[in-house]
């Protein structure tokens, strides 16, 4: 049994969350707490395996509580977040200081009765209880904004597509902050996050790296040194066009239970860019992206999977590795250098005319 402590200042939430969790026969809610001070006391008494944590609480708020949980106990914490801009910003800050993952509360809790997040929350609790939790770098949340170089972007002939989920914001911050402003390829990211959170993620990443990072809009040009984050609840594809390569957003049905789906991006990368595409599958639970990575490899593209030791959750990379779809298996700290080398080599080949141009 996975023992869970539910921490929320709302009496309604302290009633509803245990009700939906205890439908899972692997989860036992051992207690609830109305604020951080009570939570810390109960963790010492009840020894839960996982904590669910609201961020807006009296006396000791969720952020301070999270810091104390990480310092004293090192337990995995799932944030139960308000579905607002302020809630998104606070959630990403919590992830940067050690929260394992989050779920967004429905906007109307009374009518939804949390049914929409029941499976997601119980799944993330199971994964959190079973996974190795890597602590973030000290003071990562306080990193100063990066001063951008003014560069004239050019249309990118190479595209790096990244699929990522649990553990993603911290891993993306590391990866993108170690790429130069003059990076010769365009980058597109599918991060499993709900609508409203990806805009905040893009803004925070833009502040901490030399590259330009923005939430994608349909028709955005694929420019060298630009990172496009797929909006929550949309799919993103790449397409070659006569006047420039672009990103296309769509509202097609979820794939692998996800919208956005990594597979949707990777499949379009394989079809449109073939050997000029690079697919990177990073930390996250589930299998999204594995089959798409197989198509990228079959079309001659480079495929990279993050290794188990540096993942918060190894599910997505492992699913591709076990199928034989990953050309390279790398620790997080090695991925930036390999991308720079791979894309620099590709740019040199393009300039020398050794690459065929796709009609």
Tens of pLDDT along 51-99? 999 998 888 889 999 999 999 999 999 999 877 778 899 999 999 999 9
Given a contact cutoff of 8 angstroms between Cβ atoms, the answer to whether 262 and 288 are in contact is yes
Catalytic residues: 165, 192, 288
Query: Which pLDDT band, with edges at 50, 70 and 90, does 103 fall under?
Result: very high
Half-sphere CA count of 278, side-chain side, radius 13 A: 28
Task: Say yes or no to pLDDT of 133 above 90.
Answer: no
- Other CB atoms within 10 A of residue 271 CB: 16
- 212: tokens are 């330009």
As a whole number, mean pLDDT of residues 223-248 equals 95
- 17: tokens are 């969350």
Q: Which residues pair with 212 in a beta bridge?
A: 226
Pairing of strands 328-330, 235-239: unpaired
Nearest one of 313, 320, 271, 332 to 296, comparing CA atoms: 271
Maximal C-alpha separation, the chain: 68
Say whether 171 sits in a helix, a strand or coil: helix
Question: Residue 136: what pLDDT?
Answer: 45
Percent with pLDDT over 70 in the chain: 88
Ordered structural domains, the chain, with CATH = 2-130 (3.40.50.2300), 151-352 (3.40.50.180)
Task: Say yes or no to pLDDT of 359 above 50.
Answer: no
Query: Which pLDDT band, with edges at 50, 70 and 90, does 105 fall under?
Result: confident
Residues sharing a CB contact under 8 Å with residue 209, sequence separation 6 or more, in sequence order: 146, 173, 176, 177, 179, 227
Helix (H) / strand (E) element for 327: namely none
Q: Which residues pair with 154 in a beta bridge?
A: none
Given a contact cutoff of 8 angstroms between Cβ atoms, the answer to whether 255 and 192 are in contact is no
CA distance linking residue 19 with residue 5, whole number of Å? 13
As a whole number, mean pLDDT of residues 305-312 equals 95
pTM over 0.85: yes
Residue holding tokens 């803004």?
A: 203
Question: Residue 304: what pLDDT?
Answer: 98
- Strand blocks (E) in 192-245: 212-215, 226-229, 235-239
Question: Residue 155: what pLDDT?
Answer: 86
């Amino acid at each position: 049994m996975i023992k869970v402590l539910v921490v929320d200042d709302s009496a309604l939430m302290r009633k509803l969350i245990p009700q939906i969790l205890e439908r899972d026969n692997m989860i036992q809610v051992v207690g609830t707490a109305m604020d951080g001070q009570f939570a810390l006391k109960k963790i010492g008494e009840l020894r839960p395996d996982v904590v669910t944590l609201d961020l807006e609480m009296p006396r000791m708020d969720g952020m301070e509580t999270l810091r104390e949980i990480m310092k004293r106990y090192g337990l995995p914490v799932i944030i139960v977040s308000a579905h607002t801009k302020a809630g998104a910003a606070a959630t990403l800050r919590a992830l940067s200081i050690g929260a394992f993952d989050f779920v967004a509360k429905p906007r109307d809790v009374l009518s939804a009765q949390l049914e929409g997040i029941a499976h997601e929350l119980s799944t993330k609790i199971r994964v959190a209880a079973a996974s190795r939790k890597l602590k973030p770098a000290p003071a990562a949340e306080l990193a100063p904004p990066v001063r951008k170089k003014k560069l004239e972007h050019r249309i990118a002939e190479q595209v790096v597509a990244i699929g990522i989920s649990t553990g993603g914001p911290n891993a993306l911050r590391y990866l993108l902050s170690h790429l130069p402003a003059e990076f010769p390829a365009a980058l597109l990211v599918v991060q499993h996050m709900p609508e409203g959170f990806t805009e905040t993620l893009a803004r925070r990443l833009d502040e901490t790296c030399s590259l330009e990072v923005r939430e994608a809009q349909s028709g955005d040009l694929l420019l060298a040194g630009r990172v496009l984050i797929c909006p929550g609840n949309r799919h993103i594809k790449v397409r070659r066009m006569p006047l420039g390569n672009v990103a296309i957003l769509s509202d097609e049905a979820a794939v692998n239970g996800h919208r956005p789906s990594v597979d949707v991006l990777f499949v379009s990368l394989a079809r449109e860019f073939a050997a000029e595409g690079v697919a990177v599958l990073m930390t996250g639970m589930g299998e999204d992206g594995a089959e798409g990575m197989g198509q990228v490899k079959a079309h001659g593209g480079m495929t990279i999977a993050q290794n188990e030791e540096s993942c918060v959750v190894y599910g997505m990379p492992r699913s591709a590795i076990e199928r034989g779809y990953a050309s390279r298996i790398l620790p997080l700290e090695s991925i930036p250098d390999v991308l720079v080398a791979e894309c620099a080599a590709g740019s040199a080949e393009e300039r020398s005319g050794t690459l065929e141009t796709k009609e």
